[in-house]
Structure 1
């Protein structure tokens, strides 16, 4: 299968590399062309624009940072709309809101193409290992055609129905994850300030009912103050914002998520946006403990 791939950030690069390793012919494009170099070394071709990719390939995948980037690749100069046509499939794996997906879907289908949103649950390591969870929605026939690619990219694919459902599911998942990370950060700092060993807390948590892979993976590096970006904090905050907007649309009260969003915003104001989303831990650590009253 020959596919196109647009967007070679942390996730996009790992996914495209996986496709190459499994025998797919891949044509790539990225706004910063130098990010294509490593993929070219592994057999990828490079196109000069998103339009050139979709002209060449029957199926084009994208993994972009936010709604504005996703829309720009479709509607901007040399964008997808210039060459999408009958029989072509466009699969957007970016994490965006349902409204953005609907706008993209509408223009693709008007041009005779097929659209599928397919955001993923998972970060850098699962992307490298082909262990993502794919949350697809849109044209079911396209979903079935690209399952061979999804089976390389992920450990499980869900087909969720109409366009927008994939975006909504991803935002709910990331809202829960972001809220958990904040509570986890507060717990680690609370343990340390109370005279407990935070690493022992990790052992206790891992043996209980709230044991989970995120605590297991992130906890030791957080304690060490290491936040190498697997999922940048600025993107987590974007997802919290979009989830809260979905809450506004559906009249769902989300005070925990709102507080978590404020913590991620504070972390961004501290210059931590490019680090892993676990760096929100540093905002809790930065709060000075109350002075002792003698």
Structure 2
């Protein structure tokens, strides 16, 4: 069984790392705020002092951080992953970044003698806790094969999508569709309530028909309860929407609906809802 390093213990990363420890993996953790490592150390994880120290110690190092800037930051510099990766060890970035950022990280890791896999995830806090994420892997196929036992603990599905960039592209496509759905769902619930329907009536009809899906069921209940407890921070969804729209520009693909949905999330971000759940986009229209 490979030794695993885990960098980044936020809402998602902490749950994923806990599952690896509980499954019996030898796990070394690091976080910019060391206090976030305490719960992992308490259940048997080792504590790393820097991304470099973790990459030096572990067969496979996994990162789960917030955005492209953070993903690049933990790789570069004298205490970064690149400085410690060494010959043949693996680095897996599970953060959601654009394909250009993935390519930069991939090039740096491979030039340092390591193997690289991008593996962003589809899923939020509860799937991370339950080990039912969808892991979108692309890059070094030998590292993918070595990582499958860990992926099987963290997720329910982990397709191999080919060359670096395709995992990032798949994640942006999926989250772009999710953001668009959530934006129109917010407007639909708001319109129905103002027309005199009850929220329960609307959700019952939606959940019984062709539009039924787990997100509408879960987020609809959050709308009605005005409960925006965070499982996927709104600021991160807006980042993903922005990156998806930028990918559309790069590929000359018109995306008018995605662009409008991105504006809805930008409005929610400007209103101060960035650290709340993505469901808080509803607050800007209700």
Same fold (TM over 0.5): yes
Partner of 1:206: 207
Partner of 2:178: 177
Rg comparison, structure with higher value: 1
Structure 1 position 160 matched with structure 2 position 161: yes
Partners of 1:222 and 1:46 in 2: CA distance: 40
Q: Please tell me whether the aligned partners of residues 222 and 279 of structure 2 are also in contact (alpha carbons under 8 angstroms).
A: no
Partner of 1:20: 21
Partner of 2:66: 65
Q: Deviations over 1:250-288 (max 9, x none)?
A: 111111111111111111111100000110000002xxx
Partners of 1:203 and 1:26 in 2: CA distance: 44
Partners of 1:271 and 1:11 in 2: CA distance: 22
Partners of 2:128 and 2:20 in 1: CA distance: 11
- Secondary structure of the residue aligned to 1:40 is helix
Once the two structures are TM-superposed, the CA of residue 14 in structure 1 deviates from its matched residue by 0.5
- Secondary structure of the residue aligned to 1:78 is coil
Once the two structures are TM-superposed, the CA of residue 140 in structure 1 deviates from its matched residue by 0.4
Q: Deviations over 1:116-161 (max 9, x none)?
A: 0000000000000000001000000100011000000000111000
Once the two structures are TM-superposed, the CA of residue 218 in structure 1 deviates from its matched residue by 1.3
TM-score (norm 1): 0.96
Partners of 1:37 and 1:265 in 2: CA distance: 34
Partner of 1:80: 81
Partners of 1:11 and 1:274 in 2: CA distance: 14
Once the two structures are TM-superposed, the CA of residue 76 in structure 1 deviates from its matched residue by 3.1
Partner of 2:253: 252
Partner of 2:150: 149
TM-score (norm 2): 0.99
Structure 1 position 282 matched with structure 2 position 279: no
Partners of 1:228 and 1:12 in 2: CA distance: 17
Q: Deviations over 1:166-212 (max 9, x none)?
A: 00000000000000000100011011000000111111111101100
Q: List, as ranges, runs of 4+ consecutive aligned residues in structure 1 with deviation greater than 4 Å.
A: none
Partner of 2:194: 193
Q: Please tell me whether the aligned partners of residues 16 and 129 of structure 2 are also in contact (alpha carbons under 8 angstroms).
A: yes
Structure 1 position 48 matched with structure 2 position 34: no
What runs of 5+ residues in structure 1 fail to find an aligned partner?
Answer: 286-294
- Secondary structure of the residue aligned to 1:231 is coil
What runs of 5+ residues in structure 2 fail to find an aligned partner?
Answer: none
Partners of 2:283 and 2:29 in 1: CA distance: 36
Once the two structures are TM-superposed, the CA of residue 77 in structure 1 deviates from its matched residue by 4.2
Q: Deviations over 1:74-111 (max 9, x none)?
A: 01341011111111000000000000000000011111
Partner of 1:109: 110
